[in-house]
Amino acid sequence: MQYYIVELSKYAIAFLMVIYTLECFWILKRKEDNNRTGIFIRQGVEMFLIQFLAYLSMCLQTGQIEYLFFYAFLQIALFSTIVLYQMLYPAVNRLLVNNMCMLLSIGFIMLTRLDYAKAIKQFFIVVAGLILALIIPFLVEKLRILKHLKWIYGLAGVAALGIVLVLGQVTQGSKISYTIAGITLQPSELVKLIFAFFVAALLYKAKSFWQIMVSAVCAGIHVLILVASRDLGSSLIFFVGYLFVLLIATGNYLYFGAGILAGAGASVVAYYLFGHVRVRVQAFLDPFTVIDNEGYQMSQSLFAIGSGNWFGMGLYQGTPSDIPYVESDFMFSAIAEELGGIFAICLILVCLSCFFAFLKLSMRLQDNFYRLVGCCLAVMYIFQIFLTVGGGMKFIPLTGVTLPLVSYGGSSVLTTVMMFAIIQGLELIRYQEEPEDEDDEE
Amino acid sequence: MLQRKKKKKKKQEEQQERRSNRELYFTGGFFALLFAAMIGYYAYFVQAEGREMINNSYNSRQYILASQNIRGTIYSADGEVLAETLTDVEGKETRTYPYENLFAHVIGFSTKGKTGIEAEANSYLIQSSIPLSSKVENEVAARKHPGDNVYTSLRTDLQEIASKSLGVYQGAIIVSNVKTGEILAMVSKPDFNPETIVEDWEKYVENENSSVLLNRATQGIYPPGSTFKMVTALAYLRQFNGDYTNYRYQCNGSMTYGNSRITCYHGAVHGSVDFISSFAKSCNCSFANMGLNLDRDIYHDTVSDLGFNESLPVNFNYSKSNLTVDDGVSDEDMIQISFGQGSVQMTPLHLHLVTNAVAMGGTPMKPYLISQVESAEGEVVKTFKPESYKELMTAEEAATLTELMTAVVESGTATRLKGLEYTAAGKTGSAEYNKVKEDSHAWFTGFAPAEDPEISVTIIVEKIGSGGDYAVPIAKRLFDAYFGL
């Protein structure tokens, strides 16, 4: 009996995930409210079913009854989030609320399986984040002063990054975190949000070449500090985020092209300048010949993905813990191994549907400042996913960033929850701009 | 009025907005494409390389599978068990090989690392594809699941003949089905007993010169000797557009060029020879003469086309054959190369592939050993179909080489295969491996029937004498057995 449940739930989870993902894209196309409500509720049911099956299967296999309690608390937290958002903000984007909860729950399933203690730790941070996230849309909507704080954003961002560079702890050869009062912070995560506001504030009225140069220099300072801290992944995310916002703000593909060229040139320089960049490139080009050293992590990630095949080995049937730093940097590979390739591809598509929802919202925003904030967050979000997922499967060299909402890491998950909340705030602003126009919008 | 103005303004704004959203569509499209490529790559990786990932010895997942499933059985084409795992009453598993030494290299072993088919098919053998209901039954009874069974193309009768024919000599034999690429027999001597490999291991590893564990058929690197004249002949045909009718040479049994002097095998004097008789009688002097006059670039291209220094289309371990012909090669070296001595190094497997190319009109089938994988309950898990390899030579070139190889049987060095119920074609070789001219490896590579080839053989017997005397009779025995004579 137990065997049936464990084995069948594997296929049921993949099936539910496929349905959920299809509905994400279906909704992106739909307008009429009554039809959509049904789908949102169905998505919620699928989300809870997936978690139920996963936790049941884990509980049966390990005999750990406490997993079921954890499951119960998790459901309460997610369910309250979905309900409260709707009650507080009728204009909320329900697809994004669903997706946020879905990604969080996938992360919790995998984290419980990998390291239960970390799952509990993460749970408290997520709950705090979710509570904070209930207020943020209100703040974003009301605090119109946000438009005018550009130099405060700039200073705060540079200061936060600078402190890490000077005082930070070295992990894996990079200075990315520091500890205050026993809590380890990774400021580059939170600065992403500030950076989006900063770039938008600099560019939303910028017309002259001079203004654009100022914005480029300011963004460059952020990126350079991150490069100096050897936080390769974050520096790329900031760089690409800025580049796309610059394009959207100016409509000038020349700037965009010049930026790409500069980025490519900088990458070549970084390759020759930094040993850790060369190591990553070598592990990318041929992980198996250097499997004992540089290529170990990469090879193990590929083993995980390859062994998982399409339907996965099943929870607790694989060995994702063989991958060093699996719960922060290789969550995708762990998911691919135990939940399977179909599930993993759906996961990527769910993230992509969030990105499209961000963009769609930005398109409809009249106010250029908020429009640019939305774009910057969208690009930074999707590019981070590209870096971590593409890196894990050896599509691109590895940069070691988290999979937002899914990976273990307090700063990362907190930042992304807040990012989704800011987007909900933008949704409110859009609703105010044209509440009655909703139906004839494209 | 005011309202109108307002409306106009709004319209203007909308226009502006619509224009500027173009970059947003670009952004969305850019990342959509990027992700499409990434997902495509992921799907390709899972489909094409997933299984290989499990087989990597650094992947600990295979040990998990091994603890859940009993390693599957390996069968011959005629349904005999070649390797199976027996479990005694205490649950102790033993891998047994009923034919002991006979299939040593080609089946390999799984207890001291993995080699041969035990390695190639490992990911199948350790997985169990029985239906869920059977798995549940096993689970309840606390039994391990039976792994998937692997069916090979190997035939026990041909394998036995090949092994007995080599006797106490070192060497290797490959027999295959020309039309499918299936390998019917593969023998390497000296051999070992895979059942006792753990106990014997020290003995083999202690002696650094011991090459018992080496599969000579796929990994042994030999001078190909006169069998390599197939390659020189092919280069000649390419240089003269297939026209060989004008070729003549006067053989005196030896030839002197600069400081080097070469002789035909055992100093035979072949007299006036044309292209066909040079090949049939295996006249070294004539081929040395031919090699000297060949364009190095054409020769180099011919050698590359045939797969020297390159990968072969097989899924098992093998060595690459080596040969570089460029301007740095002296005339003296070129003379040696043209009849397969000097710097030419070749594996029996590679020579076999070239022979199969001739037999198949230029495009050989990819050699393979595993024909099917089935679950323990007989359900087909995977079937391996014959696949064509690339064109190594044109159909005309293959036809001319077949003509030459038929002449070897009819009027040359392999007349022991003449006048039988079937027609054969092939090339002998007597490769010198040291300075003492009398010592040589005996080679034969060929196929039958010559007009519509079904079976091909490649044989090397080390340090025994001439190919015509020692390798050709083995080929005859194998052909006879294949045709049921």
User: What is the count of structural domains for chain B?
Assistant: 1
pLDDT attached to residue A183: 67
Which residues from chain B sit within 8 angstroms of residue A306, using beta carbons? 45-46, 49-54, 59
Which residue(s) pair with B382 in the sheet? B373
Model confidence pLDDT, tens digit, residues A396-429: 998 889 999 999 988 999 999 999 999 999 999 9
Say whether pLDDT at B18 is over 70: no
Other CB atoms within a 10 A radius of the CB of residue A79 amount to 14
Q: What percent of chain B has pLDDT over 70?
A: 95
Rounded distance between C-alpha atoms, residue A172 and residue B432, angstroms: 58
Concatenating the DSSP letter of every residue in B48-86 gives: HHHHHHHHSTT-THHHHHHHHEE---EE-TTS-EEEEEE
* Sheet bearing A174-180, strands edge to edge: A169-171, A174-180, A183-185
Runs of H (alpha helix) within B326-470: 331-338, 348-359, 395-411, 467-470
Residue of chain A whose Cα is closest to the Cα of B45: A306
- CB distance from B86 to chain A under 8 Å? no
Spell out the domain ranges in chain A: 2-142+278-440, 147-273
Contacts of B229 (CB under 8 A, 6+ apart): B279, B282, B287, B338, B339, B340, B427
DSSP H helix total and E strand total for chain A: 17, 3
Single out the residue of B259, B250, B278 nearest to residue B331, CA to CA. B259
Which residues from chain B sit within 8 angstroms of residue A251, using beta carbons? 19-20, 22-23
Q: How many A-B residue pairs are in contact by the CB < 8 A criterion?
A: 115
Higher pLDDT, B444 or B433: B444
The residue range of the domain holding B473 is: 218-365+389-482
- Residue B434 resides in a domain: yes
Which residues from chain B sit within 8 angstroms of residue A309, using beta carbons? 46, 50
How far, in Å, are A417, B232, B387 from residue B390 at the CA level? 55, 20, 10
- Can you tell me the mean pLDDT for A295-300? 88
Rounded distance between C-alpha atoms, residue B264 and residue B465, angstroms: 14
- CB distance from A395 to chain B under 8 Å? yes
- Poorest-pLDDT segment among A155-159, A259-263, B132-136, B293-297: B132-136
- Can you tell me the mean pLDDT for B431-448? 84
Angle at CA B196, nearest 5°, toward B192 and B201? 75
> Using CB atoms, which residue from A291, A303, A341 is nearest to B42?
A341
Question: Per this entry, what is the length of chain B?
Answer: 485
pLDDT attached to residue A4: 81
- Residue B117 resides in a domain: no
- Residue B208 resides in a domain: no
Other CB atoms within a 10 A radius of the CB of residue A149 amount to 16
Other CB atoms within a 10 A radius of the CB of residue A311 amount to 15
Per-residue pLDDT band at B221 (split at 50, 70, 90)? very high
- Can you tell me the mean pLDDT for A227-231? 86
Taking an 8 Å cut-off on Cβ atoms, the answer to whether A352 and B31 are in contact is: yes
pLDDT attached to residue A440: 42
Q: Are B424 and B479 in contact (CB under 8 A)?
A: yes
Looking at residue A78, its amino acid is L
Higher pLDDT, A103 or A167: A103
pLDDT attached to residue A439: 45
The values of phi and psi at residue A207, to 5°, are -125, -40
Distance from CA of B15 to the nearest CA of A (A): 11
Q: What percent of chain B has pLDDT over 90?
A: 67
Taking an 8 Å cut-off on Cβ atoms, the answer to whether B56 and A303 are in contact is: yes
Single out the residue of A412, A440, A410 nearest to residue A118, CA to CA. A410
Question: Is ipTM over 0.90?
Answer: yes
Taking an 8 Å cut-off on Cβ atoms, the answer to whether A359 and B50 are in contact is: no
- Can you tell me the mean pLDDT for A34-40? 81
pLDDT attached to residue A173: 61
Rounded distance between C-alpha atoms, residue B340 and residue B345, angstroms: 8
Q: What is the mean pLDDT of chain A?
A: 89
pLDDT attached to residue A416: 96
Other CB atoms within a 10 A radius of the CB of residue B442 amount to 27
> What letter does residue B47 receive in the DSSP assignment?
H
Predicted model pTM: 0.77
Single out the residue of A293, A313, A304, A358 nearest to residue A334, CA to CA. A304
Per-residue pLDDT band at A245 (split at 50, 70, 90)? very high
pLDDT attached to residue B305: 92
pLDDT attached to residue A442: 37
Say whether pLDDT at B359 is over 80: yes
Which residues from chain B sit within 8 angstroms of residue A383, using beta carbons? 31
Taking an 8 Å cut-off on Cβ atoms, the answer to whether B20 and A251 are in contact is: yes
Rounded distance between C-alpha atoms, residue B375 and residue B125, angstroms: 9
Cis omega before residue B449 (within 30°)? yes
Per-residue pLDDT band at B19 (split at 50, 70, 90)? very low
